Structure 1
């Protein structure tokens, strides 16, 4: 079958914009279903639109999803947004490959994970790593230092006594500064422009690029950037259960829980401000986020709307 005609792809881009960013009403959704049902070519055009939407889910947030969200902002020109989406559809699959090349924080990374993937590794010195969803990391061991460079995402580190004599420091490099492990188990999570560090055993030293060094002991966590450190409430072992595919919430607001689930699934997961403050307690699956959403729907006064495979909204019933 030949590729969909440009006119159909432009129409598919219009529907993609309407359904994903314009809060379409029931009449518009029915009109979309009638449009898609017109022919096999219409269905093929929409399938390509969904694949492009999925590609945005597989590039970094600052380039992919946020780019589309900014483009879909009503403060910007709808025509400009439509041109962007149409160009991506007409240019596929070369357009998808071009988008993937924009993963500048991943290009050349030694270790990476896709969205929804976790990866466990044993390093040459016996230390263990667990790399969370959508993360990228380099390992650089030499005669003087055991060094990791976290480019994106989150990692749980369990250090091992260095077999090399004299002992080499174990350091994680970040844009914000560096972290030295003091014989420890800890996690590091990048949420630009900040980095969050949680310590589960022993301690670490945080060294912001332009601020004073701060030590954290077991049970402590903090945000830090290039200029300093802000301590947070204590942390417990539940915060590391993502390594087993679980999210344990203790009276957390719904919007925070959904943001965490969104890190482990492709596409957009929206939360209506009307339900954002609902409190959540319990264990949810990160390996099956659809099941996690159903569990939330069973226990909270919310409604889950799925408009496409890559667009899910959580709102009031």
Structure 2
């Protein structure tokens, strides 16, 4: 999400405001939204705002969040504020800052990035789509994916602007007088040679997994290389990574599943978070736990509930908008699988 959209109204950027002052602003926010604020409380807020320009900047941001809470589902807004009501000072600061983050995190999951809004074809968070292109190519689009299509008499070009796709070349492509098929990404391009393959646009690289046939990788400023069936590699604009074994998850998402084999819990939540519109928060104390299992992608709360059956973790928050995964208080994570 662009920075301008992730910032509430305020005179200062987040890094210029003291967290303690943000915590105080959050306390005032909670008090005013509790329905118990008196005129004396409102006068106290006015004095607090006048004490320091940083106080005023923090409150302007809080006012923006007051409007944001109006866009958050009512149960989440009410439950969050109720939990924040009159805790201890240290808890108030921590929970108050969470209150500043929850609405924007929820909205962030709801709003599609700019490439999605302007693309020829796109999917939203948690959505998958299958499209048959004009030449017979079968295109599967994963969550948060955007592509442009440019087919004419001289070229067949698919531009992956964001996300992940799974493609199957038409069986009779070799027998037809079709122009070359090319997939372009931010780092270069690739050409399939009668194949079934996946392409994922990462933050700074393109990852390609080939399941049958072959694919020619062409970094924008590097040397080309051909991947064969069962192989996987990533490339930047200049280099191609060492070739490895194709990750089954690069095509399992097309069936709505994610397979974990001794995967770090932190990495698992990163992947599941791609399909979840709300906010997922993981306790750092359990992020290195190893997870093995199959997880459905169409119901992330259900997938997370499976974790508590096999790992020393517990789920909390306000599902499905805000889900926390914490260490269970009566079990130790060391050595758990």
Matches within 5 A, 1:184-195: 184-195=195-206
Q: Give the Cα separation in 1 of the matches to 2:34 and 2:234.
A: 53
CA deviation string 1:37-70 (max 9, x = no partner)? 8459xxxxxxxxxxxxxxxxxxxxxxxxxxxxxx
| Corresponding residue number in structure 2 for 1:274 | 285
CA contact (8 A) 1:112 1:137 kept: yes
The question of 1:137 aligning with 2:147 is answered: yes
Using the TM superposition, give the Cα deviation of residue 35 of structure 1 relative to its aligned residue in structure 2, in angstroms: 5.7
- Contact 2:223 / 2:239 at 8 angstroms: preserved in 1? yes
TM-align CA RMSD: 3.7
- Mapped pair 1:235 → 2:212: no
Structure 1 CA distance for aligned equivalents of residues 312 and 69 of structure 2 = 40
- Is 1:199 the equivalent of 2:216? no
Q: Is the 8 A contact 1:200 1:236 kept in 2?
A: no
1:4-60 Cα deviation digits (max 9, x unpaired): xxxxxxxx99xxxxxxxxxxxxxxxxx99x8698459xxxxxxxxxxxxxxxxxxxx
Q: Flag the 1:89–1:136 CA change in 2: closer, same or farther, 3 A.
A: farther
Q: 1:299 aligned to 2:276? A: no
Match of 2:226 among 209, 215, 224: 215
* Higher alpha-carbon deviation: 199-208 or 271-280: 271-280
Give the alignment's TM-score, normalised by structure 1.
Answer: 0.70
Comparing 118-127 with 267-276, greater Cα deviation is found at: 267-276
Provide, for residues 155-189 of structure 1, a one-character-per-residue CA deviation record: whole Å limited to 9, x for no partner: 00001133885332111111100011111111111
Counterpart CA distance in 2 for 1:164 and 1:134 is: 34
Task: Give the superposition deviation at 1:249.
Answer: 1.0
> How far apart in 1 are the matches of 2:112 and 2:255?
30
CA–CA distance in 2 between the matches of 1:104 and 1:159? 29
TM-superposition CA deviations, 1:86-143 (whole Å, max 9, x none): 436538999x99x999833223211111101000011111110110011111111111
| Normalised TM-score (structure 2) | 0.66
Is 1:156 the counterpart of 2:166? The answer is yes
The alignment covers a number of residue pairs equal to: 254
1:226 pairs with 2:237: yes
More helix per residue: 1 or 2?
Answer: 2
Unaligned 5+ runs, structure 1: 1-11, 14-30, 41-76
Report SS of the residue matched to 2:301.
helix
- Cα distance change on mapping 1:111 and 1:78 into 2, 3 Å: farther
* Structure 2 CA distance for partners of 1:117 and 1:210, relative to 1, 3 Å: same
Residues 219, 240 of structure 2: 8 Å contact kept: yes
The more displaced of 205-214 and 101-110 is: 101-110
In structure 2, the residue matched to 1:253 is: 264
Counterpart for residue 120 of structure 2? 110
Q: Which residue is equivalent to 1:180?
A: 191
Determine if the alignment matches structure 1 residue 289 to structure 2 residue 266: no
Say which is worse superposed, 221-230 or 103-112, in terms of deviation.
Answer: 103-112
- SS at the partner of 1:242? helix
Change (3 A) 1:165 1:200: closer
Matched residue, 1:17: none
CA shift, 1:231, in A, is 2.6
Q: Is the 8 A contact 1:125 1:163 kept in 2?
A: no
CA pair 80-258 structure 1, distance change in 2 beyond 3 A: farther
Q: Distance between the aligned counterparts of 2:250 and 2:229, measured in 1?
A: 13
SS, match of residue 228 in structure 1: coil
CA contact (8 A) 2:301 2:320 kept: no
Structure 1 pair 313–93 and aligned structure 2 pair: CA distance change class (3 A): closer
Structure 2 unaligned residues grouped into runs of 5+: 1-7, 10-26, 37-53, 72-105, 329-337
Q: Aligned with 2:305: secondary structure?
A: helix
Equivalences for residues 11-30 of structure 1 within 5 A: none
Distance in 2, Cα, partners of 1:203 & 1:229: 16
Larger Rg over CA atoms: 2
1:90 to 60, 64, 67: 67
Give the match for residue 122 of structure 1.
Answer: 132
